[in-house]
Amino acid sequence: MEKCWSHVFLLLTIFFFPQLLPQSHSSSDYRRHPPRPLIFTPHDLSKADPQQVHISLVGRDHMRVSWITEDKSVRSMVEYGKRPGRYNAAATGENTSYHYFFYSSGKIHHVKIGPLDPGTTYYYRCGGLGPEFSFKTPPSTFPIEFAVVGDLGQTEWTASTLAHVNQTDYDVFLLPGDLSYADTQQPLWDSFGRLVEPYASRRPWMVTEGNHEIEIFPIIYPHGFKAYNERWPMPYEESGSTSNLYYSFDVVGTHIVMLGSYADFDAQSAQYKWLQADLAKVDRKVTPWLVVLLHAPWYNTNTAHQGEGESMRKAMEEMLYKARVDVVYAGHVHAYERFTRVYDNKADPCGPVYVTIGDGGNREGLALS
Ligand SMILES: *[C@@H]1O[C@H](CO)[C@@H](O)[C@H](O)[C@H]1NC(C)=O
Ligand SMILES: *[C@@H]1O[C@H](CO)[C@@H](O)[C@H](O)[C@H]1NC(C)=O
């Protein structure tokens, strides 16, 4: 099928360091910017007020609204409508919470709302009180615009990245892993949720996990992903997956597969079997674009994290190749790089384009080589 790049403004990959472009500087005089300080974002409203509000796509025409309250009596209820202050619909959902050593989370609310009209602004309120938020649903036809940012963290660079992204009227935010860099310090998950709220409450944020989401502690938390799974549930059941660590969804002519670099991926694994079934169902007449996101890149010329994606590449690359995936986005390496179409380490016009986009602004700074 002949596809035209102009149909879809695929992807605002974020160069927030334009100096990285090789033509603007020779390698000898380019100095990478150092990391910037962490921003801790406090909650300055009441305990019942919603905080860390973020939304994600569920199915064709629903949205999940997620938020947290310190007050446990607040109801998991979202009121919404197409005019500010006029809520002619409401939905109730679920609540959860978790403990991690001495930390206990607030009440985490997840409410699915819809059906919603495409390309429409909705105004909403969480738990029956607090400020009004609004979001825009994706359109029903091309063009659609995605923003893709990996390894976000919560530093001054993160704030700069998000402010840049927000300058365009993109439709869906895609994050291939490494969200908060809380690294077991749970209050930093809350701080991250507050930092991203102004953006993640107005456009759907679709994420997959990175190594900073793992948070395994031997014997006590052997499976990991506790904070991630409770706070950032994605529509995995809707795509036949049994794990929040990998799933897929469709949005405007695009089938997006979110793989899990930190879930089993060998030929006997649940993820492998799920991916096989998922790719077999793709109808390129309905979704001519096929995009994959995962955390640890399969192709990487940096010394940072060299070879870490290799076993997953060996296990799954042929499946993506045969399915004629268009683009694979990865994070993990704190750099930007883009490969030509490639399969099995050789340029191949039928292989996907691989893009690493791990320079979102986290506290570890840029890859040095
Ligand atoms: C919170 O969830 C529990 C089940 O997990 C349910 O019994 C309870 O009614 C929910 N509370 C609210 C306020 O939604
Ligand atoms: C993001 O952009 C929108 C539209 O221009 C604007 O209304 C909003 O205030 C911006 N958000 C932030 C946090 O800057």
pLDDT in single tens digits along all 369 residues of the chain: 334 333 333 334 333 333 344 444 455 677 788 999 999 999 999 999 999 999 999 999 999 999 999 999 999 999 999 999 999 999 999 999 999 999 999 999 999 999 999 999 999 999 999 999 999 999 999 999 999 999 999 999 999 999 999 999 999 999 999 999 999 999 999 999 999 999 999 999 999 999 999 999 999 999 999 999 999 999 999 999 999 999 999 999 999 999 999 999 999 999 999 999 999 999 999 999 999 999 999 999 999 999 999 999 999 999 999 999 999 999 999 999 999 999 999 999 999 999 999 999 999 999 988
Q: What pLDDT score does 368 carry?
A: 81
DSSP secondary structure of 137-151: ---SSS--EEEE--S
- Yes or no: is domain 143-195+204-357 CATH 3.60.21.10? yes
Lining residues, ligand 2, CB within 6 Å: 166, 198
Q: Which ligand 1 atom lies nearest to the CA of residue 74?
A: 13
Q: What pLDDT score does 3 carry?
A: 43
At 116, list the tokens.
């919603």
Closest Cα to atom 2, ligand 1: which residue?
95
Are 105 and 72 a contacting pair, CB within 8 Å? no
What CATH code is assigned to 51-135? 2.60.40.380
109 is annotated as an active-site residue: no
Within the chain, all domains assigned CATH 3.60.21.10 are found at: 143-195+204-357
Closest Cα to atom 5, ligand 2: which residue?
167
Q: pTM of the predicted model, to two decimals?
A: 0.92
Report which of 317, 40, 344 is spatially closest to residue 194, judged by C-alpha positions. Answer: 40
Report which of 274, 283, 287, 200 is spatially closest to residue 244, judged by C-alpha positions. Answer: 274
Report which of 80, 76, 85 is spatially closest to residue 50, judged by C-alpha positions. Answer: 76
Residue 101: C-alpha distances to residues 105, 185, 253 (Å): 11, 10, 44
Other CB atoms within 10 Å distance of the CB of residue 232:
25
> How many angstroms separate the alpha carbon of residue 50 from the centre of ligand 2?
19
Closest Cα to atom 11, ligand 1: which residue?
95
Within the chain, all domains assigned CATH 2.60.40.380 are found at: 51-135
Indicate the angle between helix axes 187-200 and 156-165, nearest 10 degrees: 20
Report which of 36, 52, 43 is spatially closest to residue 155, judged by C-alpha positions. Answer: 36
Q: What pLDDT score does 32 carry?
A: 82
Pocket perturbation via mutation, ligand 1, pick of 94, 110, 111 by most ligand atoms within 8 A of CB: 94
Ligand whose nearest atom lies closest to the CA of 94? 1
Pocket perturbation via mutation, ligand 2, pick of 166, 196, 199, 201 by most ligand atoms within 8 A of CB: 166
At 201, list the tokens.
């409450």
Instruction: Name the 3-class secondary structure at 318.
Output: helix
Report which of 48, 97, 54, 99 is spatially closest to residue 74, judged by C-alpha positions. Answer: 48
